[in-house]
Chains A and B, each alone.
Chain A
């Protein structure tokens, strides 16, 4: 019940907390390192999955974190969900540091977050019906009344455009198509009326023909519930339709941050350039030209390169600078941050 109230009052609340400027989530100098062990014990270094990440997310804002696999975007997201423990730095949600929450507080915290997994089939338990899947988070959070359970499940299924809801409730995940499975995952993320949604590549496993449908659904939910959304993806072409800001992540760090138009139209970082160059639009002329793509692969996060982590692949590398000193964040235009020595 309380959740309902928070959600309806979220707008006036944001005004109350003017001091924080409506900031919902704040990530300060976050480091997530995983210890490597030799033969199960004995220290063998760290995997620096997230290495000094700063950003904040306002109420009702959508940000996209773009990067290749292994760049740390999933570790970052799992840390925000407190599935990983931060090694250093803080995650502040709604004014509260969540680094060291007690288990009972953690449950309340997580009920404010919705999580949309990448692979819907893997994310849904195969032996539970849609109704059971959606009732579970409600039961865990102490709702026992049968009519209320039924009504909330029905409402959330209708919200993700699965109607008639009664028809889908007794079905098992394997009886649904990929798009419908993803809708159930979204319904489950939304059922506690969260204030923030974390979507980890929500459409990458789906067919091209339904991707846009799911993205539009997420956008509608975001608008109608004034949700803060973190959209994690490797596909720049879907970002434009979905989010206000783009954060580009490479080897555990955010290397370019800004509004969608700033990052896409006034690209500054060579890595972002490469990502844009690599993303194709359907055009027959593509077949005639070779693309200019930096060779090689992202570095190991155990021993990341000194200086700028992109320098071994960068076509504009400045000897003696890029490979020695880590670039600071430059701000070429207001709100657009780029960690690259080219802007010095």
Chain B
């Protein structure tokens, strides 16, 4: 029924890492859905597991994984049951691609940017080099990089241009879903606004869906249809952006929103006292309880996930 227009469906995804000090529960039972041609923003403080979530979805796992489970449906294909080779052939960069964190430094410094953008086409679709380069040129035009930059090396481009190249590389295979991990955090404000203009245009022209991972709530609103708030490895709230930016439901979301300095309006920004808990031995019960201004006795028990329409919130106050 509604499955048809769901591009990504994550169910109870877990990713734990083994370290010398114990098991880090970086992603601990994450559920959410994303509809086709929508953008979901995953926000949270650093160390809350946002980047691990993107790695878990794309299966780009480091060696010290202790536990990796759950279900990830991408356009009704269950990707977790595929083996690594099938996953590489069918999913990664074919259906789903990534713009990594600090993408401007993620380019290979000794290969011309044109070839780097063309590479996914030849690797995944086996097209000839010239054809792949043609495709790359098309992508360059799409993301607003002058076509004659194709023979340049990454160091010859500015940060904003490199970011666009990384984006072109993620889009060249026309995937259904692009995961953007802090795509603009290293860029200047004007460049950042230009990149978001571009992302909006691509979203409407190519019908791509986006997962945007960021800690910058103000700029995330430039792209968001849905907002997912992550805290200590768990999703504590998922809501429509129109609702979320006005009136978040979870106390953590509310505090997070209040901590955003605003250019317009007169509210004094607030801050969240204390620090997020360690993911090695997360506290029992609600993980935000220790910093929550509205905690009460029940918060020592794990709060259930409450559905309110399409939205989800994990807090005793909303039960």
Contacts and interface: CB of A to CB of B under 8 A. Distances in A.
Interface of A: 68-69, 177-179, 207-213, 215-216, 234-238, 240-241, 264, 274-284, 286-287, 290-291, 293-295, 297
B108 interface: no
Contacts of B158: 297
Interface stretch (B115-123, B128-136, B210-218, B292-300): B210-218
Contacts of B219: 280
A183 to B, nearest CB: 13
A219 B272 CA distance: 18
Nearest to A241: B261
Interface of B: 39, 45-46, 158-160, 188-194, 196-197, 200-201, 215-225, 240-242, 244-246, 255-257, 259-265, 268-272, 275
Q: Which of A179, A216, A281 has the most CB of B within 10 A?
A: A281
A277 B188 CA distance: 13
User: 6 nearest interchain CB pairs?
Assistant: A278-B193, A213-B271, A68-B188, A284-B241, A284-B242, A209-B272
Contacts of A209: 45, 255-256, 259, 271-272
Contacts of A297: 158, 160, 191
A286 B217 CA distance: 12
B184 to A, nearest CB: 11
Nearest to B268: A241
14 contacts: A208-B256, A209-B45, A211-B261, A234-B189, A237-B218, A278-B189, A280-B221, A282-B217, A282-B218, A282-B245, A284-B244, A284-B246, A286-B221, A294-B190
Nearest to B219: A280
Given A209-B45, A287-B241, A295-B194, A281 B272 contact: no
A132 B219 CA distance: 39
A279 B245 contact: no
Contacts of A264: 263
B138 to A, nearest CB: 20
Given A209-B255, A238-B261, A177 B275 contact: yes
Nearest to A313: B190
B148 to A, nearest CB: 16
B4 to A, nearest CB: 24
B217 A208 contact: yes
A310 to B, nearest CB: 11
Given A207-B215, A235-B189, A286 B222 contact: yes
Contacts of B194: 293, 295
Given A212-B261, A216-B271, A282-B217, 7 more contacts: A207-B215, A237-B262, A238-B261, A278-B189, A284-B241, A287-B225, A293-B197
